[in-house]
Amino acid sequence: MYSQTKIAIPIFQKDCKSVIEVANDCIKKGADVLEFRIDGLKNPDINEIKDTINEINFPMIATNRINTEGGSFKGSEEERFNILYQCADLVDYVDIELQSNDEYIKKIHDTGVKTIVSYHDFEKTPKLSEITYIVEKEQELGDIAKVAFMPQNLEDTITILAVLSHCEDTIAISMGDLGSYTRVMASKFNSPITFAAGTDVTAPGQIDIETMKALLNMDLNIMDE
């Protein structure tokens, strides 16, 4: 029995040369997908970004995260969108936040790329009904819903498992050390993608790729016995 959940490793570097070096290392470590955090670049240049994606030549998520959801992009919202839009035909997925302009999300989705519509809250975990509402809105706009919340207690992490249980094509994450196990459990609910750390940790509670693969393999072997 094999998990259908892909392990994605985020790459958050200041220049494209470093992005390529880290990407090659993450591929060797067993990543299924790379998340190119474009907002990590000190001087993002679209031509250089495109060349970097082509040189890496590996399944990739293009993400250009806004400040309010843990990102570092310093340009305008129009500039942020244009970078993602111009990358859409070169990557497998584009991650764009739910709070982005609906028209921007639609334009990216219309390119044919798989669109991950995401929502992050680094302070709290809402009630299940509120999270379900967010997921439904995301799926109306894109292909895959992504929600990530900070738990205050163990019950909050179980809420995230309930989301995974009830919602298809959804990435649901409970952040921090308390919620780190939800990243492993995502495979049990056929979540399309879970995130692990390679060189860069881009969210609290990310498990390193070696540990993630060992836990997934151990869990699957137990189920096969």
Coil vs helix vs strand at 174: strand
Q: Is the dihedral of CA 179, 184, 188, 194 positive or negative?
A: positive
> Would residue 146 show up in a list of annotated catalytic residues for this protein?
yes
Q: What Rg value do the Cα atoms of the chain yield, rounded?
A: 17
Note the pLDDT of residue 221. Answer: 44
Q: Domain segments of the chain: what residues? A: 6-224
User: Is CATH 3.40.630.10 the classification given to domain 6-224?
Assistant: no
The helix or strand, by DSSP H or E, that contains position 34, with its residue range, turns out to be strand 33-37
Residue type, 81: F
Selecting among 74, 106, 120, 137, the annotated active-site residue is 120
In the 8-state DSSP scheme, what is residue 218? Answer: H
Q: Does the structure show a pLDDT above 50 at 27?
A: yes
Task: Read off the pLDDT band of 200 (50, 70, 90).
Answer: low
Note the pLDDT of residue 225. Answer: 42
pTM for the whole thing? 0.90
Q: Does the structure show a pLDDT above 80 at 198?
A: no
Contact predicate 113/91, CB 8 Å: yes
Q: Which two tokens stand for residue 49?
A: 């970004």
Selecting among 50, 137, 146, 213, the annotated active-site residue is 146
Q: How many residues does the chain have?
A: 225
Least confident of 87-101, 122-136, 152-166, 200-214: 200-214
Q: What is the pLDDT of residues 122-147, one digit of tens each?
A: 999 999 999 999 999 999 999 999 99
Q: What is the pLDDT of residues 55-80, one digit of tens each?
A: 999 999 999 999 999 899 999 999 99
DSSP string, 88-154: TTTSSEEEEETTS-HHHHHHHHTTTSEEEEEEEESS----HHHHHHHHHHHHHHSSEEEEEE--SSH
